[in-house]
A = this chain, B = another copy of it.
Amino acid sequence: MFIDPMATLPLFGDIGPVESRLLSENSRVRAYPKGAYIFRQGADIQNFYVVCKGTVQVYRGTPDGHEITSDILIAGDCVNAEEIIALDTAHTANTRIVEEAIILELPIHWMRDNMNDLARLAPRLLVGLADRLRGALKDAEHFSTLSAPQLIACYLQSLCVPYGFDPRSFDLPYSKTLIASRLHMELATFSRSLKKLKPFGIVVTGNHVAITNLKKAERLVCNRCTITETCRTRALLDRPPTVVLCTPGMNGERQTGLRVPQVAGV
């Protein structure tokens, strides 16, 4: 099974033929079975990895033996872009294969040696880094402002963008257990919260999701959330996806505290 990463990955989409060959010569493509690790937390950073196919769970283990999923990656995603630049010598997370995956790897020292040409080699790498940062900021904000049902509503809608799902009817791309973990909540809480979404037009039965009323679904989230990947879902139907700011109005000048009133019953 051969895959030409240059042709597949938007990451390297707009580079010239010279750079393309350079990349090919210095990269390697490898297949991983389900359950395998690309690398583990604490191990030496050796390569930069890009997912070409499959699903990868990024998680961190706490000393008391539990784990926190920080991201779920699919084809086209960089696994550890920030580690090219980081001062660390060790990986700060585990990356485990959820669905059989094909991974492109580039030696990290080669990447670093070519840092000066990086902008030319992979202009989108920086964009990816910035995107990832924004995603992390969004997560931090969401986890401390949205309720469990809101988080789920937001996540389900945002799923549609990378996967190209029709919000009105699609299947979950991975297990509920994994999704719950990604949303930093217990499976039990996740399961219970799904029922609360029905009145808002989000019906999940088994593996299948049906978002029947996008306006309602958005309203569920938008009074709290501001970065709102969520709103991309609607964009899917109307125009090409971009990040939409849901906060038109300005806010109070003086208050500094965290103060987010609950949506009734959700």
Return chain B residues, CB-CB under 8 Å to A243: 87-88
Copies in the complex: 2
Asked if A133 and B129 make an inter-chain contact with CB atoms under 8 angstroms apart, the answer reads yes
**Among residues 137 to 162 in chain A, which have CB atoms less than 8 Å away from a CB atom of chain B?**
137, 139-141, 143-145
List of B residues within 8 angstroms of A248 by Cβ: 42, 63
Q: By the criterion CB–CB under 8 Å, are A256 and B69 in contact?
A: yes
Of B62, B134, B145, the contact of A247 (CB 8 Å cutoff): B62
The answer, yes or no, to whether A99 is at the interface (CB within 8 Å) is: no
Contacts of A61 in B (CB 8 A): 226, 247, 250-252
Q: A66 contacts the other chain (Cβ, under 8 Å)?
A: yes
13 contacts between A and B (CB under 8 A): A42-B247, A62-B251, A65-B255, A66-B252, A66-B255, A66-B260, A67-B252, A82-B130, A85-B126, A87-B127, A88-B243, A92-B134, A181-B258
What 1/0 mask marks residues of chain A from 104 to 126 whose CB sits below 8 Å from any chain B CB? Answer: 00000000000110111000001
Stretch in contact with the other chain, from A24-32, A202-210, A217-225: A217-225
Q: How far is the CA of A243 from the CA of B66 in the complex (A)?
A: 21
- Closest chain B CB from A77 CB (angstroms): 15
For A157-195 the 0/1 string (1 means CB < 8 A from B) is 000000000000000000001101100111100000000
A61 to chain B, nearest CB (A): 3
- A86 interface neighbour in B70, B134, B177, B186, Cβ under 8 Å: B134
Interface centre among A40, A226, A256, A260 (most CB of B within 10 A): A256
Instruction: List, in ascending order, chain B residues with CB within 8 A of A92's CB.
Output: 134, 226-227, 245
- Contact between A257 and B85, CB atoms less than 8 A apart: no
Contact, CB under 8 Å: A249 / B63 = yes
Instruction: Assess the A226–B129 pair: CB atoms within 8 A.
Output: no
The reply to whether B139 and A67 contact each other, CB–CB distance below 8 Å, is: no
Any B CB within 8 A of the CB of A64: yes
Residue of A40, A136, A186, A187 contacting most chain B CB atoms (<10 Å) = A136
Does B66 lie within 8 Å of A258, measured CB to CB?
A: yes
